[in-house]
Structure 1
């Protein structure tokens, strides 16, 4: 006996087939997005790893540079979806993460060693700037430690890391105007402090 097909059953099967196709497409899109994420992260890692090592080395020393940079990149990978799309803002965003990890490492080191600063290890250190030496690095740290934290952070990123005002603002999560103000105050403060020490060094250009 002839029975017409139940339209609900027929439609349900079609929907199931459609859902299967949509599911495959979703998996493909996710795979593509994952590959792009990995490629973008790898490109950023290759581009920024040397400069971040140099920055941490100058501010923290060789004993913490590897751990700080590695931990920072772990956070960058985990928070990749939060990374700004604009390349200059993204660079500042990464430096903000590095600054946080560096500050944490320095607090731990000071707490464990009970000293305000340490002599840089005597091992040979490769620096990207051939004009740098261990004595100048130690002196830079000493001078920077004379500044209030907000001014010190701005100087470290602008002078030691070479970031632009906008990149520093992204890293510190403040306005470009605030960065400019902090740098101006830091210049004046350092001139007064060094003058009191009988020196005329131009720490900040």
Structure 2
């Protein structure tokens, strides 16, 4: 039987049972999403899903319900899952931040900066807890190829974390800024002068200062004129 036909038969025969299990655990609003994710995992890992046979074997139902249980656990424990992801990723990077919240945010931001393929490789192992062989089946490659790709993804994650931890470059001071092209460098101001052109001891030298009218001094009183003496000719006459 081809894979597509086997998967169609698997869904037709057992989706109702998975749906009933999801309703009993998470309600009707979440059941359809749980069924969809469960059979998505079943499609990706169809080679490990037990086939239904005439013998007394367990068949695919226990495997499907266990997968649905894991999906529900991830839905209900989102915060715990994020913490476990941060702890798993911390084992791959060097150093640790003093603030746990900032560290977790930095790790998740670094993970978000990676490509979609790198994120899938890392989360299949750290998030979903798959072995390298099972994760290789999910992405469709050999186990050795998966190890190589996972190693490269971890190195890129470490580089992204280091870049996120680097402090921002300090702005250049205007005192050390080189002169702009086409403009001569500013000449130093003479000693004793302020940038506004005024000396520290007097008003600005540029332009004549308005003259103040000097207070008029009272002119000294003129001495009284001496009385004229009669001439000798007048006395004789």
TM-score higher than 0.5: no
TM range, smaller chain: 0.3 to 0.5
Structure with bigger helix share is 1
The structure with the largest alpha-carbon Rg is 2
